[in-house]
Structure 1
Amino acid sequence: MRNLCIPLFGALVPAQGGHFGAILRGAAADGSEDYALIVAEASAEIEDATWADEYKTIEGADSKTDGPANTAAMAAAGLALAQRIKALDLGGHTDWYLPAAAELRALSATVPELFHQKDWYWSSSQYSRSYAWCQDFECGSSNALFKDNEFRARPVRRVQLQALNT
């Protein structure tokens, strides 16, 4: 295995369409175990978004770690927030998604400066028919809050660690 030259957390990685946010363990979409999260530029952030306008269970959107699967389930169920994120083409990349709860917590730990400190952010992780997980970037707390609250949403994408070589 060759050595990797990983950028600093928060560094802009233009070829990947955003900022290097975190390294996570688990099955990435490309089949590798470890992956990096790329955080979209602040201009792609969605303000005053609801997770859902009505309370209903979204089948397949309850993973705490699989943001792409959650976002796909949300979009398939017709949820506007997920459809808006899945339609993004940023930096030539179209694989953006709403991060799962664990991914958002990792970003809170590594790059809180990339997010508004006074606002909550939606994750793609559903808690129940009425609640979804959110993340606060000022204090680092997570909570399940009503899906019809208006919070911010920040798209992310997964990349292989090798893609971060500078």
Structure 2
Amino acid sequence: MAEAGFAIAERVLELRIGDFDDWFIPARDQLELACRGLKPTSEDNYVWRNGDNPSSLPPGYPYTIHLPGQTEVELFREGGAEAFDDDWYWASTQYSAYGAWNQDFGDGRQGSASKDDKGRVRAFRSIKL
């Protein structure tokens, strides 16, 4: 996205937090994993193909109304210091030359939006486990 001139992606690549400078906007399937594991609310999920994630191990299958449910990690629950907002976040995966994918952390909906739209971004880092 930074190569395409998406200003927020350029800003994320310039981040220096602590001693780390390897921040990035997650791809669609990476962002889905965060939603699956760190969903802040107990809001019902939008049910269609959301959650279909062939990149994850095990593969992710479409969400049900109640799965994924609210995370058990207190810091990421609604009101917690690290909680995602009950709204959508940009993924770095482009949908087209003019749009990119996003993930809603309230109802789990995955969709796309124009790169001109305002939206949230959560910078990620990869670490070996």
Both proteins in one fold, TM over 0.5: yes
Is structure 2 residue 122 aligned with structure 1 residue 154? yes
Once the 2 structures are TM-superposed, how far is the Cα of residue 104 of structure 1 from its aligned partner? 0.5
Task: Report the secondary structure of 2:2's partner residue.
Answer: helix
Matched residue pairs, number?
Answer: 87
Is structure 2 residue 48 aligned with structure 1 residue 80? no
Task: Report the secondary structure of 1:104's partner residue.
Answer: helix
Say if 1:76 and 1:131 are closer, same or farther in 2 by CA, change over 3 A. Answer: closer
CA RMSD in angstroms, aligned pairs only: 1.1
Pick the structure with more helix per residue.
1
Gaps of 5+ in 2: 41-82
Percent identical residues = 40
4+ residue runs over 6 A deviation? none
Is structure 2 residue 42 aligned with structure 1 residue 115? no
Q: Over residues 120-145 of structure 1, what are the superposed CA-to-partner deviations in whole Å (9 max), with x where a residue is unaligned?
A: 10000001122210010001110012
Once the 2 structures are TM-superposed, how far is the Cα of residue 111 of structure 1 from its aligned partner? 0.8
Tell me, in whole angstroms, the C-alpha distance in 2 between the residues paired with 1:139 and 1:149.
20
TM-score scaled by length of structure 1: 0.50
1:7-26 superposed matches below 5 A:
none
Once the 2 structures are TM-superposed, how far is the Cα of residue 77 of structure 1 from its aligned partner? 3.5
Once the 2 structures are TM-superposed, how far is the Cα of residue 101 of structure 1 from its aligned partner? 0.3
Structure 2 counterpart of 1:131: 99
Say if 1:144 and 1:77 are closer, same or farther in 2 by CA, change over 3 A. Answer: closer
Say if 1:147 and 1:76 are closer, same or farther in 2 by CA, change over 3 A. Answer: closer
Q: Counterpart amino acid of 1:125? A: T
Once the 2 structures are TM-superposed, how far is the Cα of residue 108 of structure 1 from its aligned partner? 0.5
TM-score scaled by length of structure 2: 0.64
Gaps of 5+ in 1: 1-73, 162-166
1:144 to 99, 107, 112: 112
Task: Report the secondary structure of 1:75's partner residue.
Answer: coil
Once the 2 structures are TM-superposed, how far is the Cα of residue 85 of structure 1 from its aligned partner? 0.2
The answer to whether the 8 Å contact 2:6/2:115 transfers is: no
1:95 to 6, 9, 22: 22
Question: Which is bigger in relative contact order (C-alpha 8 A, separation at least 6)?
Answer: 1
Pick the structure with more strand per residue.
1
Once the 2 structures are TM-superposed, how far is the Cα of residue 149 of structure 1 from its aligned partner? 1.0
